[in-house]
A and B are shown apart, each in its own frame.
Chain A
Amino acid sequence: MTRLAPEPVRSARHATRSIALLPLAASLALAGCSSSQPAPMTAAATPAAPAALRPLRVTAPSPDPRIGLRAGLFDAGQAAWNVRLVSTTPPAAPFVGVTNSDLAFKGNYAIQGNYNGIQVWDISSPARPTPVVTYVCPASQSDVSVYGNLLFVSGEGLTGRLDCGTQGVDEAVSHDRLRGIRIFDITNIRDPRYIANVQTCRGSHTHTVLEHPGDRDNVYIYVSGSSSVRPAEELAGCSGLSPNEDPNSALFRIEVIRVPLAHPERAAIVSSPRIFNDLVAPPEHGLAPADLAEIEAARRSGGFVVGQGDRARVVSERRYAPVLDSIMEARGGMGAPSAADTAALRSILEERFGRGRPEPSDGPAPGPTQCHDITVYPAIGYAGGACGGYGLLLDIKNPAEPRRMAAVSDSNFSYWHSATFNNDGTKILFTDEWGGGGAPKCRDTDPMEWGADAIFTLRGTRMEFQSYFKLPVAQTSLENCVAHNGSLIPIPGRDVMVQGWYQGGISVFDWTDPKHAVEIAFFDRGPVDPERMRSGGSWSVYWYNGVIVSSEIARGLDILELVPSEALSRNEIDAAKSVRLEQLNSQGQPKFVWPNSFALARAYVDQLERSGAMGTDRVASVRRTLSEAEGRSGASRSGVLGSLARELGDDAAGSMDATKVRMLADVLRGLANGG
């Protein structure tokens, strides 16, 4: 009996740490709800790198010092690369052994959530943060945000009480329970006054404060609640039925609270937008290179590939051989199978393996029932929603009525957790909190596509998948680890982000090239406990006014600073430090604007040198001229700068990175004009 040639199906696995899984990079772009609108955003400011520019290369320490760190609560081994730990301050006694959560900032203060309340730190001196107030008022997760003199705190767990009591709430239905948003007046931050609550049906796992540029009288809060719906006996009007059974269902919606700034105690829910409606498009997974390679290899060797798209599968010889035998037997054939035999086989296999019989679907209502977190970026009028199995792009120009513009899903993503835009609004990064943050998902057996970041470009309102980024070092099974909260670092001309990976530590990475994110700095500790997994690590880490501040779940507050390296120059760090904010809620993303400075100009020169876009001699002469100008003042300085700006303006057209040369010239012009 003659067989078809066996199929040498080889998986072209590229992810070195994947287990025996096909890492299908299936980013499936689902059509948005309404229409594909013309692009409101353009990518003009993104430094698009011509092929000739040198990609960012770093020499990471080898072996990786994060491996094998000693365990300990306050004395764990530490590893740092291109960052320096400035201080670690343990929690105040009432919060020791209780989870520290998210961070918000106002002036010189860092406000840290804790499952037992809120902790305010004065971080004027990063080397010695001082406790300002420890306010005991239990609720998980105590996600915090500030706006002016108001502080908002999320409560979701069943133990949160209206009176801040610590005894929990034993009854399944109770009017003592708080699940929603607590509002504090922090006009005197040493003495927060608890002024109001807004109760919601699912509580508040996280929330996002949205300032609307056209509305000076109010701020808005998007509430994401991911736990169960409260009984109507506890909070009237709450229904956990499906929307088909009850149009007022608390599922499949978010809540929008409006807070009148003159009367914050009158804060109330103003809308419950059903931003998930009609999110029913079937999955159209794109295939990853590894999958395409497998299928192509099978095709080339005469094997059978049946089905289409993500359902394509290779039928093994073991399965098709008996079928082919029976076809040939039926025609009494001998020798090699004919083309007709092969065609008949293909038809049978398609029927048997490629697709199934139709089956009526009587499954659950489609679409996510909630968001985990929403990041608003008012400067561009959009928000990124991390909602169940989807990443959403929302139009927030009308704050009370956010509209879904696009949705993406990804078969490697378990649970969409949070979103971060790049400063230009031309990219969006989503995280996947696979395992919920309590599990060790960075072991060497966990695929690099799972529990990672997914980077998308934004072309108009279309999100296009580019690549994954995951903490590039394995952690032990004693360390809870998965992608978690972070923020941009305002490095001008680049997209650089700092991110917490729980006990995976803190990672700084460059995602200017969305297809190749590169880690450029890290800080890590050994496990909290040498014997067993205990929750710990960086819940959130944000850049705020020159320092990196991390909320350590078990160990308190860490403050770090960047150290210059081949991947990040002193000038770039100084330029980042020149961006000052009065307050920061990382989920209310601020647009960074860099004041003109010599550091900013030198940062661009450093980047042009690093990428090879400016030759060595030219770099040296530009730097000389900058130093010369800095040594002068008044009209003399302006003259030197203006002249260099003109020269660079002329250079730009011939440069491999014309955009950045022009950005440099603009800074010089600004400096020349005294600004």
Chain B
Amino acid sequence: MEESIQRDLPDARIAPARGLMILAFALGLAACASSAPAPAEAAPRLAELEALYRARQDSAFLEVSEADVAFMMGMIDHHAQALVMSAMAPRNEAGPALRRLTARIINAQRDEIGLMQRWLRDRGRPVPEVDASGTVHAPGGEHAMHMDHELMPGMLSPEQLDELLAAKGTDFDRLFLRYMIQHHQGAVTMVHELFATDGAAQDELVFKIASDIQVDQTTEIERMQLMLDALSQDGRNP
């Protein structure tokens, strides 16, 4: 553990925030002073603050890293496959614990897909659409171009998907857990690759989504590993 100590650091009370200067000029809000009545002294009117709020939120759309865009596009496709896998559980007679797990994966990853789509849409980027079955429709309307899955860590091959589709009951549980661990580990790898890229994840939302994916899926990998171990132990100790 290294520590670095820095003394006499600059007082930063007057420094403008990242991207703020341009906005302040654009909006003429540099001083943020106003004579309107407000709770705090010299506070600007709420309407002005709201304009500043909108402008600042929108300004985040201007600085876009291509690494972030690629991550979001790829992760939508990656998440979509988790939906496809999880949707198999009821018909393939998964056990109750696994059904609970898959229901949560569907809920969580569908919401995250929505967040990532919005992020891309806000920045005027092409947005992959994901239908109810988890099929990805590439931007532009062509059906499921299916990007190079081999290029994305953890993605199941078509053969693996077929194998999972054919498994029933406990066999399905076991295979699902193995493949979803592989799939989640791939997502965690994608996060690590993102963070190792210059200029990436400076965007607050990208950092948050990537960090959340990392912690949520790492936690879920561990839970799935315990479930898998339990299935195996049952077999060893009848």
Contacts and interface: CB of A to CB of B under 8 A. Distances in A.
B197 to A, nearest CB: 6
- Main SS of chain B's interface residues? helix
Nearest to A228: B195
Contacts of A373: none
A228 B181 contact: no
Contact of B226 (A168, A282, A354, A372): A282
Contacts of B233: 282, 358
18 contacts: A26-B97, A90-B46, A94-B16, A133-B13, A136-B14, A137-B12, A166-B17, A167-B18, A170-B198, A195-B9, A197-B6, A266-B5, A354-B170, A358-B235, A366-B222, A368-B219, A370-B215, A389-B220
A356 B46 contact: no
B185 to A, nearest CB: 7
A272 B3 CA distance: 13
Interface in A187-221: 191, 193-201
A439 B96 contact: no
A352 B215 contact: no
Given A98-B17, A164-B10, A355 B4 contact: no
B198 A434 contact: no
Contacts of A657: none
A128 interface: yes
Nearest to B9: A194
Interface of A: 19, 21-22, 24, 26, 73-75, 87-91, 93-94, 96-99, 115-117, 128-131, 133-138, 140, 156-159, 162-172, 191, 193-201, 226-228, 231, 235-238, 240, 255, 265-269, 272, 282-283, 285, 291, 307-308, 310-313, 319, 352-361, 363-364, 366-370, 372, 388-389, 409, 411-412, 414-415, 434-436, 438-441, 446, 450, 532-534, 554
Contacts of A388: 215, 218-219, 222
Nearest to B218: A369
Contacts of B220: 389, 414
B169 A353 contact: yes
A91 B216 CA distance: 31
Nearest to B192: A228
Contact of B215 (A158, A415, A534): A415
Interface string B15-55: 11111100000000100100000111101101001101111
B222 A368 contact: yes
B99 A22 contact: yes
B1 A140 contact: no
B7 A196 contact: yes
A116 B13 CA distance: 11
B207 interface: yes
A73 B1 contact: no
Contacts of B38: 90
Contacts of A91: 49
A172 B195 contact: yes
A641 B63 CA distance: 71
A518 to B, nearest CB: 27
Interface stretch (B73-81, B107-115, B155-163): B107-115
B111 A115 contact: no
* Shortest beta-carbon contacts, A-B, top 9: A97-B56, A355-B234, A436-B212, A164-B12, A93-B32, A194-B9, A363-B225, A358-B235, A166-B18
Contacts of A227: 195, 207, 211, 214-215
Contacts of B214: 226-228
B39 A89 contact: yes
Given A90-B43, A388-B219, A532-B118, 6 more contacts: A89-B40, A130-B41, A140-B208, A269-B1, A307-B234, A364-B185
Contact of B96 (A89, A157, A313): A313
Given A93-B52, A227-B214, A534-B57, A439 B11 contact: no
B40 A136 contact: no
Contacts of A240: 192
A135 B207 CA distance: 23
B50 A73 contact: yes
A353 to B, nearest CB: 5
A170 B203 CA distance: 11
Nearest to A181: B3
Contacts of B185: 364
Contacts of A450: 104, 107
Given A319-B93, A367-B222, A450-B104, A359 B174 contact: yes
User: Which of A87, A117, A355 gathers the greatest number of chain B CB atoms within 10 Å?
Assistant: A355
User: Which of A87, A94, A165, A356 gathers the greatest number of chain B CB atoms within 10 Å?
Assistant: A356
A226 B207 CA distance: 12
A130 B7 CA distance: 30
B17 A138 contact: yes
Contacts of A191: 11
B150 interface: no
B191 A415 contact: no
B100 A22 contact: yes
Given A117-B12, A310-B97, A129 B225 contact: no
Contact of B97 (A165, A311, A415): A311
Interface in B182-238: 185, 191-192, 195-202, 204-205, 207-209, 211-212, 214-216, 218-223, 225-236, 238
Contact of A130 (B40, B57, B192, B218): B40
A183 to B, nearest CB: 9
Contacts of B10: 163-164, 194
B53 A136 contact: no
